Structure 1
Amino acid sequence: MLNKYEKLLVKTESDNLCVEEKQFKSRAKGLIKDKKIGIRKDLPTLTEKTCILAEELGHYYTSCGDILDQTKTENVKQEKRARNWAYEKLVPPDKLIEAYESGVRNRYELALYLDVIEEFLEEAINHYKEKYGLCRIYDDYIIYFEPLGVFRKMIDKQ
């Protein structure tokens, strides 16, 4: 069975993208130009590489041009769109419910279950709070983003 990083690599291949792990002169963790994605080779974990690759794919699908200058409003917006794409790819609401049903009860366990770094999980939760507010109804569940929790709705059977 493929891990998340390998699944993302399969996606890049199907889109004719080239991913290369390399040393960077800058502090960047990932970069994309045209159809080439670079991932910092010395990232400490495969989990972090997965989060960075997802964000770079987010850039591929949602951004255009050179957005390195983050003093420009349009570039900041494109960066946010790319990150939001990554959050929804790696931390979708149905996986939050699945984690709850599997017995996950805190953010540390949730990050492990979803195979994302804790910082990425926090940013994903903040993204959902911005998008939906404090909670969202999803099928038979209510997902609370502040404080984080998942609850099965009580169904009245009268």
Structure 2
Amino acid sequence: MIEELLFEAESEGIEVRNHSFKNPKIKGLYVDGVITLNKSILETTAEKKCILAEEMGHHHTAYGNILNQSHIVSKKQELLGRKWAFHRLVPLNSFISAFQTGIRNRFEFAEHLGVTEVFLDSAIAYYLG
């Protein structure tokens, strides 16, 4: 649930804000202990949860300004934030519990985890490596 992530962020001293960015491609940013989520893009709680988790991943794994994705170091740090989010929202044991629960397709699995299908697909691709 997104409330768990918000509580976790608060307990770690991370402030979470909502803001309308002029650039709709920016869904979230992490800077110096503050996560800002683009409120004009977040269509679902699942999408907000995925973006929040990735930005929390940047809090735990990134350093410096990684906005310029033309630098390989920035790309690697972006990926570290995503990996953190994958492990947090789609842990490996969730595949087993989903099977045991009777979940048989990715839509049901994404809904069960409270993530978007796009995020789930990315997590599966990451795990399959």
TM-score w.r.t. structure 1 length?
Answer: 0.79
Note the alpha carbon deviations across 1:41-95, whole angstroms, 9 max, x for none.
Answer: 1211011000000000000000001000000000000001110100010000111
Alpha-carbon distance between aligned partners in 1 of 2:106 and 2:12, rounded to the nearest angstrom: 33
* Alignment of structure 1 residues 7-22 onto 2, 5 Å: 7-22=4-19
Q: Partner of 1:145 in structure 2?
A: none
Q: How does 1:98-109 map to 2 (within 5 A)?
A: 98-109=97-108
Alpha-carbon displacement from aligned partner over 1:108-137 (angstroms, at most 9, x marks no partner): 11111111000000000011011xxxxxxx
Q: Does the alignment pair 1:36 with 2:34?
A: yes
The alpha carbon displacement at 1:40 in A equals: 1.1
Alpha-carbon distance in 2 for matches of 1:129, 1:62? 22
Partner of 1:148: none
Return the offset for 1:96.
1.3
Distance 1:46 1:108 in 2: 15
Distance 1:114 1:97 in 2: 13
Q: What does residue range 1-158 of structure 1 map to in structure 2 within 5 Å?
A: 4-26=1-23, 27-42=25-40, 43-130=42-129
Moved >4 Å (runs of 4+): none
Letter in 1 for 2:20: Q
Q: How many residues align?
A: 127
Structure exhibiting the larger radius of gyration computed from Cα positions = 1
- Deviation digits for residues 14-43 of structure 1 (CA, Å, limit 9, x no counterpart): 111100111112220000110110011121
**Stretches of structure 2 lacking an aligned partner (at least 5 in a row):** none
**CA RMSD between the two structures:** 0.7
For structure 1, the 5+ residue unaligned runs are 131-158
Counterpart Cα distance in 1 of 2:94 and 2:105: 14
Could you tell me how far apart the structure 2 residues matched to 1:56 and 1:93 are?
Answer: 21
Larger RCO of the pair (alpha carbons < 8 Å, separation 6+): 2
